[in-house]
Amino acid sequence: MSELKEQLKSQIIEQLNLEDLTPADIKNDSFLFGDEGLGLDSIDALEFIVLLDSFYGIKIEDPAAAREIFHSVDSMAAFIESKK
């Protein structure tokens, strides 16, 4: 699971063009969309949907329902594990 989380962090940085960040800068349990997290917005949430499909083959139909999944790296990893 921790390997998945590290992988996810790299993928997030790549997918969202967060050039100034390294995986070490992203805490597993930080709320990604808050100021203490990465300060992401609604478009970034949509990019997460692309990320889940492109890297993990998981399709999300309803972006609003998906908000919980993208809460943190922890919640994303848990969701991906649950879909295996």
Partner 1 sequence: MKIIGHSYINPKGAFLNGQNVLIATEENYLKSYFSELEIDYSKFYKMDLLSKAAFLGDYLLRNSYKDLLNVENELQFVFANASSSKETDIRFIESYEHKKNPSPSLFVYTLPNILTGELAIKHKWFGENIFYILTKFDSDFFNDQIAMSFLRGNEYCLCGWVEMTGSPEDECFMFLVAKSEVVNENLSNKLNEILNNYRNE
Partner 2 sequence: MGEESKLERSLKCYLKYGAIISPLGDSIEEHYLAFFENKSGIRKEEKTGFNAENLFLAKIEGLENSRYNALLKQACEKLIENYSSSFLQNPKTGIIVSTTKANLAAITTDAFESTRKIIDEIIHPFHEPIIISNACISGVLAVNTAADYIRLNKFDQVIIIGIDVLSDFIIYGFQSLFALSNEACRPFDKERKGISLGEACGILVMKNTPDEDFNVEVVGGASSNDANHISGPSRTGEGLFRAINKTLERSEVSKEEIDFISAHGTATLYNDEMEAIAFSRLGLCHIPTNSFKGYFGHTLGAAGIIEIIMCMVSMEKNVLFKSIGYSEIGTTETLNVISENRNMEVNTVLKTASGFGGGNAAVLLKCIQ
Q: Which among 71, 77, 82 has a CA at the least distance from the CA of 2?
A: 77
Residue 28 C-beta: closest distance to partner 2, Å: 28
Site residues, partner 2 (CB under 8 A): 41-43, 46, 50, 63
Residue 49 C-beta: closest distance to partner 1, Å: 8
Measured from the CB atom, the residue of 29 and 39 that comes closer to partner 1 is: 39
Site residues, partner 1 (CB under 8 A): 16-20, 38-39, 43-44, 46-47, 50, 53-54
Distance CA 23, CA 7 (A): 9
- Token pair in block for residue 57: 């083959």
What does 18 interact with, of partner 2, partner 1, none (CB < 5 to 8 A by kind)? partner 1
Residue 28 C-beta: closest distance to partner 1, Å: 20
The one-letter amino acid at 55: F
Task: Give the contacts of 23 (CB within 8 A, at least 6 positions apart).
Answer: 6, 9, 10, 13
